[in-house]
């Protein structure tokens, strides 16, 4: 066995390993409790079989590092153990807390400028949602380490025997159980254990490592043209020119937060969830098949403001390249004689929005730090009542009426965690929410209430503009930045992790009270990159050469919409006519006939290999195009 001089060091390293194993096991129990709170059919055997291999790798690394240190150094061993155990425990607690709020692990790609305010937002959500169990777990880990530090020496021999004759055989049988009984991937439907089974330390370390490009998705003969050809493959046809008078209309971009298309027309106990939106659509161009490119607010702003898709490299502009030289919407309108303004009821430091916006020729920028509340109050720890933006917009719009204006409005509700204090707007009463069957249903009810209030705030803004006589020559582009998911598909919560319709299929109308006498239905597929070219076309302003979208009111061939996310694994999708195709970086393909299967439940990819092949080839070309699109400009993003 070991030489006598190594025996004590081995025993001590084994004892520390047992402490770390106990911490890992405690973390797994806590996390499984959180999973069970959302999923009544959660199975600990399945969860254990998926997680054990990750944890054993982590514990093996801990043991090797500890034993190696003890062989080299004779002193400060206890300090070294604290150096390992305390950060690991904090990671476990942080990930348990993050999961209890967002029900997924934290992604390192969210790091960047603006992290401090984003972290504050997470903390505020955590205070609202994290259960006491997560906080108590931190105390538990502290107590575990304290007991370990003061353990009497003779217990070490007992621990040595325990590890040699009990723990090691148990781990051996655990590995065997994990390998033999682990269910196949198709069985992990509800809940999805895929990400949460990974050991947090391993997950964090792997997330920080730069992932190589997926060559299978970008190797082709694309020449890297500026314009990404998104003409429809399976829905031929022409969208005619709408013959709308071009003039320098006032233009408002209203970024409705976290709303999927399927909420338009929805009712609760006979009451419409979004009555204002439905009313406005009667004097609008309505786009029923409109798609966000990337289901995250920071990316939606960039896609809309520049008519450009994101670089496909887990880099979120403006976080990672706030000085990117593409002209933004405010810059273009300003150069064409417009006054410009941007209002947000939250904090523009989040994700470094302000770093991107401050040099974009915006005359007035206001957020929670600079808005005058005007009688409205802070309704979440990081946002004002959205109605606090109404008076500043009306005041700005009413000045210098001889000059047109462009304004971008960013309300914060119905953003997670979906809370607001005005009970008169609740469609689901507090009593109904309290009686909800579980956390998922309760959270969704709170979201619907928040969405209903957000719709009301939009109506208040429109009415205030109308009373001020400011709607005569004003077009309001109202669209959601992205959707919001509530487990319509396994593991799909919030918005950024998938590209199903609940994530990326969003409502969009162009409202003009005196411009559109009736509702005009746009007959094709559209996306966020088309919004700015359309607005400029209305105003008779020339398009920029780098635009990747088109004007939707001029004659054009029908188009496809390209969506993308890389929050966890990379997923890309195409919406073309009735078809929705999804390709994951693990090679999984999904195809849905949205006419027959609007909820995307029946994957028919195996039945239509030719159709899948066409869209797979398109996504390869789109990937290569985006690489070339940014490489040729030598931006910091690449």
CA 432 and chain centroid, separation: 28
Provide the residue count of the chain: 638
pLDDT value, residue 90: 82
Q: Which of 120, 455, 507, 480 is nearest to 301 (CA)?
A: 480
Question: What phi and psi, each to the nearest 5 degrees, are found at residue 187?
Answer: -85, -10
Cβ neighbors of 338 (< 8 A, separation 6 or more) are: 248, 251, 403, 404, 405, 406
Average pLDDT, the chain: 82
Rounded mean pLDDT, 409-420: 88
- When pLDDT is cut at 50, 70 and 90, the band that residue 122 belongs to is low
The pLDDT tens digits of the residues spanning 465-523 come to 999 999 989 999 999 999 999 888 877 888 788 999 999 999 999 999 989 989 999 99
DSSP 8-state code for residue 260: -
Name the pairing type of β-strands 579-584 and 378-380.
unpaired
Query: Where, residue-wise, is CATH 3.40.720.10 in the chain?
Result: 239-560
Mean per-residue pLDDT for 445-461? 95
Amino acid 268: pLDDT:
94
The stretch 96-117 carries a mean pLDDT of 65
Strongest mean pLDDT among 27-36, 503-512, 629-638 = 503-512
Contact between residue 505 and residue 293 where contact means Cβ atoms under 8 Å apart: no
pLDDT band at 54 (very low <50, low <70, confident <90, very high): confident
> Which CATH class name applies to 239-560?
alpha beta
For residue 163, count CB atoms less than 10 angstroms from its CB and return exposed for 0-12, middle for 13-18, buried for 19 or more.
Answer: buried
- Give the other-Cβ count within 10 Å of 596's Cβ: 9
Helices (H), 290-424: 297-306, 329-335, 353-357, 390-398
Across 243-262, average pLDDT: 93
The answer to whether the CB of 567 falls within 8 A of the CB of 299 is: no
From residue 4, how far is each of 8, 64, 225, 539 by CA, in Å? 8, 19, 70, 86
C-beta separation of 274 from 258 below 8 A: no
Q: How far apart are CA 58 and CA 413, in angstroms?
A: 40
């Amino acid at each position: 066995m070991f030489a006598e001089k190594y025996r004590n060091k081995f025993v001590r390293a084994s004892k520390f390993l047992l402490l770390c194993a106990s911490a890992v096991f405690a973390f797994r129990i806590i996390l499984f409790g959180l999973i069970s709170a959302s999923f009544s059919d959660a199975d600990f055997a399945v969860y254990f079989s998926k997680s054990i291999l990750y944890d054993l790798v982590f514990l093996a690394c801990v043991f090797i590092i500890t034993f190696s240190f003890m062989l080299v150094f004779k002193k400060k061993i206890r300090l070294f153990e604290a150096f390992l155990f305390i950060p690991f425990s904090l990671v476990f607690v942080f990930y348990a807390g993050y999961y209890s709020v967002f029900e997924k692990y934290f992604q390192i790609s969210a790091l960047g400028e603006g992290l401090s305010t984003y972290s504050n937002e997470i903390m505020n959500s955590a205070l609202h949602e994290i259960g006491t169990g997560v906080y108590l777990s931190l105390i538990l880990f502290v107590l575990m380490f304290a007991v370990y530090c003061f353990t009497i020496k003779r217990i070490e021999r007992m621990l040595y025997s325990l590890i040699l004759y009990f723990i090691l055989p148990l781990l051996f049988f655990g590995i065997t159980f994990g390998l033999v009984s682990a269910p196949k991937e198709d069985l992990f439907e509800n809940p999805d254990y895929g990400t949460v089974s990974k050991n947090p330390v391993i997950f964090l370390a792997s997330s920080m490592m730069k992932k190589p490009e997926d060559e299978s998705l970008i190797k082709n003969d694309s020449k890297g043209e500026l314009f990404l050809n998104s003409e429809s493959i399976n829905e031929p046809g022409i969208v005619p020119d709408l013959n709308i008078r071009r003039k320098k209309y006032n233009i408002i971009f209203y970024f409705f937060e976290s709303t999927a298309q399927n909420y338009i027309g929805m009712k609760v106990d006979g009451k419409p969830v979004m009555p204002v939106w439905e009313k406005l659509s009667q004097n609008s161009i309505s786009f029923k098949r409109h798609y966000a490119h990337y289901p995250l607010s920071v990316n939606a702003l960039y896609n809309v403001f520049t008519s450009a898709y994101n670089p496909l490299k887990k880099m979120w502009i403006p976080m990672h390249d706030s000085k990117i030289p593409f002209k933004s919407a405010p810059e273009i309108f300003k150069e064409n004689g417009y006054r410009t303004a941007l209002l947000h009821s939250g904090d523009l430091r989040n994700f470094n929005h302000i770093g991107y916006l401050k040099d974009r020729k915006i005359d007035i920028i206001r957020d929670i730090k600079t808005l005058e509340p005007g009688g409205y109050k802070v309704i979440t720890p990081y946002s004002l009542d959205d109605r606090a933006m109404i008076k500043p917009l009306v005041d700005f719009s009413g000045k210098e009426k001889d000059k047109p204006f462009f304004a971008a409005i960013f309300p914060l509700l119905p953003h997670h965690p979906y809370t607001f204090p005005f009970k008169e707007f609740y469609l689901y009463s507090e009593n109904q929410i309290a009686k909800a069957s579980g956390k998922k249903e309760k959270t969704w009810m709170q979201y619907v209430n928040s969405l209903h209030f957000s719709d009301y705030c939009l109506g208040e803004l429109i009415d205030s503009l109308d009373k001020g006589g400011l709607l005569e020559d004003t077009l309001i582009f109202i669209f959601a930045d992205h959707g919001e998911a509530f487990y319509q598909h396994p593991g799909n919560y919030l918005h950024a992790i998938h590209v199903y319709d609940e994530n990326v299929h969003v409502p969009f109308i162009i409202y003009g009270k005196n411009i559109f006498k009736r509702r005009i239905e746009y007959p094709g597929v559209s996306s966020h990159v088309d919004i700015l070219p359309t607005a400029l076309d209305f105003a008779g302003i020339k398009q920029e050469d780098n635009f990747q979208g088109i004007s939707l009111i001029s004659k054009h061939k029908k188009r496809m919409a390209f969506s993308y996310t890389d929050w966890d694994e990379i997923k890309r999708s195409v919406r073309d006519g009735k078809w929705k195709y999804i390709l994951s970086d693990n090679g999984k393909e999904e195809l849905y006939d949205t006419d027959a299967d609007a909820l995307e439940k029946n994957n028919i990819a195996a039945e239509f290999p030719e159709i899948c092949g066409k869209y797979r080839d398109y996504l390869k070309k789109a990937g290569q195009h985006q690489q070339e699109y940014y490489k040729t400009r030598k931006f910091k993003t690449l």
